[in-house]
Amino acid sequence: MNKIIVAVFILIGFSIAGQDYYRYGVIVGSDNDFLTEARGRQFTVVDSFNPGFCDYSSGLAHDGQYLWNNYTWSPRIARIDPTTHTVLNIFYPTYGDRDMAFDGAYLWVSHWQTNSIYKYDTSSFNLVAAYDPPFAGHPNGIAWDGNYLWVGEESGRIYKMTTTGDTVRSIPFNAPYSYDPRGLGFSSDGHLWVGHQGYGRVYEIDTINGTILNWYTAPGYVPGWNFQQGVDFGGGYLWTTTGGTYNRIYKIDIGLAGVEEHNQEVKEKIDLNIRPNPFMKNTVISFTFKQPMTVTLSILNVSGRRVSTIIENQTLAPDNYQYNLPQGLIKSGVYFVVLKANDYTYTLKMIKL
């Protein structure tokens, strides 16, 4: 009898924990096996809703305006207005879709049943192309970083791919119980976010070596009842979905909305680009002004220390400027290019492989 009572209290504890995480959207502390301290942005749920067209959501993608969500147990993908929570369209591809990513023109879908990556036209939802992933296992999470696809293998490794199906490289998913990186999404600072289905967490990781930067308890996760699934970014927010007993889509504020609005405001005055990025040998930093600007252009390492000053306090006329980064100027790693022009500051992450 006492054992039964203890078991009941344990179950209640799990349930209360799940509700508290949802109510407060709070970032949790360190994982003793992998992190030594709690790190990361504030994690706050600002909206959630049941998509309605299914009872077990899986994949998730944001196309800049609408959400795309699919049904795990039936061949259905829906386009949803995230403001009104209205299902606008339902499409019926072959059964077995897992996660989705939008590249600005096409919707990419990982297909668990056929072990394929599908490319769809979002206006007609016609299948444009299909590729085999660079591994024998099932593909799950999929994300778009602006230039490449990233695909999570069921066994736990994450692969960077071209849009023609070629493999660039791969990284480990260094989470405890790394099996099944279910949802993938890229934030505007270039970090990859990974949803872990059975463990009920969302991880922020570095794409160079898979280092875990932060981890969060997934909102709505209830052990054994509700599971973390899709992950994506859009409109300055992190979007996640859980499938199971309480099927919902969550809109999460991690502090990027204000940053994106600021960058958009700055972009109206100046434009800063790095291409290619990431790069192995050479890259070009380009910037454009629409009015005379007093400019300082610097490269900082991840500790915030300046490693190179390209331009310092020079007044430049409105024009397009390009700077070819010398091959030996910096070593492999993560850097930040900081452009200060009059009262504006624009920062872009730069990665040398």
Instruction: Answer with the residue of higher pLDDT: 305 or 318.
Output: 318
Task: Return the pLDDT at 267.
Answer: 56
Q: Are residues 55 and 163 in the same domain?
A: yes
Tens digits of per-residue pLDDT, 329-350?
888 887 888 888 877 777 788 8
Give yes or no for residue 317 having a pLDDT over 80. Answer: yes
Average pLDDT of span 246-267: 67
Give yes or no for residue 38 having a pLDDT over 70. Answer: no
Average pLDDT of span 113-130: 91
Instruction: Answer with the residue of higher pLDDT: 277 or 60.
Output: 60
Confidence bin at 152 (pLDDT 50/70/90): very high
Task: Return the pLDDT at 43.
Answer: 59
Query: What are the strands of the beta sheet with 293-301, ordered from one edge?
Result: 306-316, 293-301, 333-341, 344-352
Is residue 264, in this structure, part of any structural domain at all?
Answer: no
Arithmetic mean of pLDDT over the chain: 79
d(CA 130, CA 115): 10
Name the H helices within the chain. Answer: 2-24, 257-267
Average pLDDT of span 128-144: 90
Region of 244 on the Ramachandran plot (φ > 0 left; ψ -120 to 50 alpha; else beta): left
Q: Among 87-101, 138-152, 294-308, which stretch is predicted with the lowest mean pLDDT? A: 294-308
d(CA 213, CA 210): 9
Tens digits of per-residue pLDDT, 273-312?
898 888 888 899 998 887 888 888 989 876 567 888 888 8
State both tokens at 260. 């994106």
Task: Return the pLDDT at 124.
Answer: 85
C-alpha atoms less than 13 angstroms from C-alpha of 336 in its C-beta half-sphere:
15
209 class by beta-carbon count within 10 Å (0-12 exposed, 13-18 middle, 19+ buried): exposed
pLDDT above 70 coverage of the chain, percent = 82
Q: Are residues 23 and 87 in the same domain?
A: yes
Is residue 162, in this structure, part of any structural domain at all?
Answer: yes
d(CA 198, CA 224): 8
Q: Are residues 298 and 244 in the same domain?
A: no
Query: Where is 106: in which H helix or E strand?
Result: strand 106-111
What residues make up the domain containing 119? Answer: 2-258
Q: Are residues 247 and 345 in the same domain?
A: no
Q: Are residues 84 and 142 in the same domain?
A: yes
Average pLDDT of span 51-71: 90
Confidence bin at 268 (pLDDT 50/70/90): low
Is residue 61, in this structure, part of any structural domain at all?
Answer: yes
Give yes or no for residue 316 having a pLDDT over 70. Answer: yes
Q: Are residues 7 and 89 in the same domain?
A: yes
Confidence bin at 269 (pLDDT 50/70/90): low
Most distant CA pair in the chain, distance: 82
- Number of domains composing the chain: 2
State both tokens at 266. 């700055």
Q: Among 75-79, 119-123, 248-252, 261-265, which stretch is predicted with the lowest mean pLDDT? A: 261-265
State both tokens at 147. 């230039």
Task: Return the pLDDT at 90.
Answer: 93
The CB density around residue 30, as the number of other CB atoms within 10 Å, is 12
Q: Are residues 197 and 276 in the same domain?
A: no
- CATH number of the domain enclosing 56: 2.120.10.30
Region of 136 on the Ramachandran plot (φ > 0 left; ψ -120 to 50 alpha; else beta): alpha
Who's near 146: CB < 8 A, 6+ residues apart?
A: 186
Average pLDDT of span 117-138: 90
Does residue 147 contact residue 103 with C-beta atoms inside 8 Å? no
Is residue 142, in this structure, part of any structural domain at all?
Answer: yes
State both tokens at 100. 């989705």
Is residue 71, in this structure, part of any structural domain at all?
Answer: yes
Task: Return the pLDDT at 121.
Answer: 92
Question: Which of 258, 290, 321 is a domain's end point?
Answer: 258
Give the pTM.
0.65
- CATH number of the domain enclosing 345: 2.60.40.1930
Instruction: Answer with the residue of higher pLDDT: 40 or 45.
Output: 45
Is residue 320, in this structure, part of any structural domain at all?
Answer: yes
Tens digits of per-residue pLDDT, 192-248?
999 988 788 899 888 888 888 888 888 888 877 888 899 998 877 899 998 877 889
Region of 110 on the Ramachandran plot (φ > 0 left; ψ -120 to 50 alpha; else beta): beta
Q: Are residues 106 and 189 in the same domain?
A: yes
Q: Are residues 277 and 244 in the same domain?
A: no
d(CA 223, CA 243): 12
